[in-house]
Amino acid sequence: MFENLSDKLQRVFKNLRGEGKLTAENMESALREIRLALLEADVHFRVAKQFIEAVKEKAMGAEVLTALSPSQQVVKIVRDEMVRMLGQHQAKLRTANEPPSVIMIVGLQGSGKTTSTAKLARWLSKNGSSPMMVSVDVYRPAARKQLSVLARDLKLPIYEGTPEETKPADLARSARKEATQTGRDVLLVDTAGRLHIDDELMTELSELKQLLNPAEILFVADAMTGQDAVKSADEFNKRLGITGAILTKMDGDARGGAALSIRAVTGQPLKFVGVGEKPDALEPFYPDRVAQRILGMGDVLSLIEKVEETIDQKQAEEMQRKLLEDDFTLSDFRDQIRQLRKLGPLESLIGMMPQIGPIKDLKNMKVDEKEITRLVAIIDSMTPKERANHMIINGARRRRIARGSGTTVQEVNNLLKQYSQARKMMKSFTGGGGFLGKRLGKLKLPMGFGPQ
Ligand SMILES: Nc1nc2c(ncn2[C@@H]2O[C@H](COP(=O)(O)OP(=O)(O)OP(=O)(O)O)[C@@H](O)[C@H]2O)c(=O)[nH]1
Ligand SMILES: [Mg+2]
């Protein structure tokens, strides 16, 4: 459902990829395109505006990771901002101090309340809860029957009520009593819908709220109604106070704007999304996963994550300085090798990078763990003096190092050759100042490994 938005954003990132630096100009045009893409996806105009402002501020500010290329930086900033807009973390359901925790399901007519009530009951019971349902929709004769049928199919308990119980409050009160007596920890209350928000409905819902003191009031909105879903969520929130939203029919061809705006407009998180008519078609809403899907750049994003996790920014800058001042010693080389190991298999890392320039040639490179261990052992067997100045490592020293590290003179020679190559290569990368060089240099890949 985010395909269109996703396509457009990816095009923006691709265009930026050709730029060596983020300038006011190329950022300006990228931001304009991002804003348009958001609006076309039906994102609320105010939300889009705030979003762009935040991205701009971060992109122009100092908060950048030098280990990433300009376009990767923008992807990172956009991702971070999108996750922030969506609510950072998955919003869990709240519980009451005393069971049963009451969850009121509210919303406009046909939005998917009854279906979502059953889906949520199923989800809760699959996740260790023992829910009970009740329908307090006394206006449509078929409404309560609908939930009963769903409950029977799912083999989950429902409070059916007695013929005397004709008012929503009566049904709700008895249902809660029954839930308490039978040890249910959650009571899901499916309420009646209206075509439009009216005082009568709001009064009824407010009375139920008063009576039940619910842990959650979840507003159910149909994603297909786009901006209207957000508007009614906002109004329900202002008049009744909601604690979260469920967006249904996300399996349809809605443009996704509602999912992106609900939180920013109402201040309440999207907790679940409905992705089909079947009872199992309900998913908790994960801001980070959704942002990932929208940006559609799984590879670049995982690279960003790895870089964030692994690379120590200060250390990277220090390395940069050393390279520029021709001060890159064997100890630094060893640090690099270690850092590389933390990043995981080199092939997978290279697979994540855009396949351009020298990186293309690295694709077939294999580095095995044993090789890395051997390289580190060789450097460990050197004296600090040798590590600081490789020029003094003559034949006798090479023989001693080989003995000390349990390797052969040939292997020590190879390592020294690789080190020299790495120096040369990294210098040409970093010293040149090109953005590709910056990226590689600061990722600190020991380029000297060479194809094997
Ligand atoms: N494709 C799809 N259909 C859904 C989803 N959720 C609900 N529906 C369908 O939407 C229609 C209305 O769902 P209901 O659960 O009856 O809606 P409601 O809000 O209870 O409606 P009222 O009680 O009349 O206000 C039904 O045909 C559902 O099958 C969803 O996530 N995906
Ligand atoms: Mg209903």
Does residue 299 have a pLDDT over 70?
A: no
The confidence score (pLDDT) of residue 312 equals: 59
- 121 within 8 A of 156, measured Cβ to Cβ: yes
CATH 1.20.120.140 domain locations along the chain: 3-89
Ligand 1 atom at minimum distance from 146 CA: 16
Give residue 437's pLDDT band: very low, low, confident or very high (50, 70, 90): very low
Lowest mean pLDDT of 49-58, 171-180, 290-299, name the range. Answer: 290-299
Ligand 1 atom at minimum distance from 220 CA: 19
pLDDT: is 318 or 371 the higher one?
371
- Alpha carbon distance 173, 58 (integer Å): 51
What does the pLDDT look like over 203-235, one tens digit per residue? Answer: 999 999 999 999 999 999 999 888 899 999 999
DSSP codes, 296-348: T-HHHHHHHHHHHHH--HHHHHHHHHHHHTT---HHHHHHHHHHHHHH--HHH
Does residue 355 have a pLDDT over 60?
A: no
Q: Which two tokens stand for residue 93?
A: 């359901």
DSSP codes, 101-146: EEEEEEESTTSSHHHHHHHHHHHHHHTT--EEEEE---SSHHHHHH
Q: Which of 115, 122, 149 best tests ligand 1's pocket when mutated (most atoms within 8 Å of CB)?
A: 115
CATH 3.40.50.300 domain locations along the chain: 101-285
Ligand 1 atom at minimum distance from 276 CA: 32
Q: Which of 250, 277, 280, 283 best tests ligand 1's pocket when mutated (most atoms within 8 Å of CB)?
A: 277
Ligand 1 atom at minimum distance from 111 CA: 19
Distance 177 CA to ligand 2 centre (A): 23
CA dihedral 184, 189, 190, 192 (to 10 degrees): 160
Q: 100 preceded by cis ω (within 30°)?
A: yes
Highest mean pLDDT among 60-64, 66-70, 88-92 belongs to: 88-92
Contacts of 43 (CB under 8 A, 6+ apart): 51, 257, 260, 261
* Mean local confidence (pLDDT), 21-40: 86
What does each C-alpha distance from 448 to 52, 331, 440, 451 come to in angstroms? 42, 15, 13, 9
Highest mean pLDDT among 153-157, 250-254, 413-417 belongs to: 153-157
The confidence score (pLDDT) of residue 289 equals: 79
Contacts of 193 (CB under 8 A, 6+ apart): 107, 108, 109, 110, 111, 113, 137
* Mean local confidence (pLDDT), 50-69: 75
Highest mean pLDDT among 10-24, 315-329, 424-438 belongs to: 10-24
**What is the percentage of the chain residues whose pLDDT exceeds 90?**
47
Distance 236 CA to ligand 1 centre (A): 19
Please list every protein residue whose CB sits less than 6 Å from any atom of ligand 1.
107, 109-115, 137, 143, 193, 248-249, 251-252, 274-277, 281
Distance 217 CA to ligand 1 centre (A): 18
Distance 106 CA to ligand 1 centre (A): 13
Does residue 320 have a pLDDT over 70?
A: no
Does residue 336 have a pLDDT over 90?
A: no
- Alpha carbon distance 174, 147 (integer Å): 17
Distance 114 CA to ligand 1 centre (A): 7
| Edge-to-edge order in the sheet of strand 270-274 | 158-159, 131-135, 186-190, 101-107, 216-222, 244-248, 270-274, 282-284
Q: How many helices (H) and strands (E) does the chain have?
A: 21, 8
The confidence score (pLDDT) of residue 278 equals: 94
Distance 160 CA to ligand 1 centre (A): 21
DSSP codes, 338-405: HHHHHH--HHHHHHHS---THHHHHTT----HHHHHHHHHHHHTS-HHHHH-GGG--HHHHHHHHHHH
- Alpha carbon distance 273, 270 (integer Å): 8
CATH superfamily, with its number, for domain 311-449: Signal recognition particle, SRP54 subunit, M-domain (1.10.260.30)
Q: Which residues pair with 38 in a beta bridge?
A: none
Give residue 363's pLDDT band: very low, low, confident or very high (50, 70, 90): very low
* Mean local confidence (pLDDT), 16-28: 76
Closest residue CA from atom 17 of ligand 1: 112
Does residue 446 have a pLDDT over 60?
A: no
Distance 119 CA to ligand 2 centre (A): 13
- Alpha carbon distance 134, 168 (integer Å): 10
Contacts of 162 (CB under 8 A, 6+ apart): 174
* Letter string b/e over residues 276-304, b meaning 16 or more CB atoms within 10 A of that residue's CB: beebebbeebbbbebbbebbbbeebbebb
Give residue 426's pLDDT band: very low, low, confident or very high (50, 70, 90): low
Ligand in closest contact with the CA of 112? 1
* Mean local confidence (pLDDT), 396-425: 88
The confidence score (pLDDT) of residue 257 equals: 86
186-190 and 158-159 strand pairing: unpaired
The confidence score (pLDDT) of residue 338 equals: 73
Q: What is the mean pLDDT of the chain?
A: 82
- 378 within 8 A of 371, measured Cβ to Cβ: no
Q: Which CATH class is domain 3-89?
A: mainly alpha
* Mean local confidence (pLDDT), 300-319: 61
The confidence score (pLDDT) of residue 169 equals: 96
- CA 330, 333, 335, 341 torsion: positive or negative? negative
Give residue 14's pLDDT band: very low, low, confident or very high (50, 70, 90): confident
The confidence score (pLDDT) of residue 311 equals: 56
pLDDT: is 27 or 179 the higher one?
179
- Alpha carbon distance 343, 85 (integer Å): 30
What does the pLDDT look like over 109-152, one tens digit per residue? Answer: 999 999 999 999 999 999 999 999 999 999 987 999 999 999 99
The confidence score (pLDDT) of residue 298 equals: 56
CATH topology of domain 101-285: Rossmann fold (3.40.50)
The confidence score (pLDDT) of residue 106 equals: 97
The confidence score (pLDDT) of residue 373 equals: 83
CA 164 to chain centre: 50
* Mean local confidence (pLDDT), 322-333: 74
Q: Is 14 helix (H, G, I), strand (E, B) or coil?
A: helix
Highest mean pLDDT among 86-90, 100-104, 309-313 belongs to: 100-104
- Alpha carbon distance 280, 263 (integer Å): 24
- How is the chain split among helix, strand and coil, in percent rounded to 5? 60, 10, 30
The confidence score (pLDDT) of residue 5 equals: 87
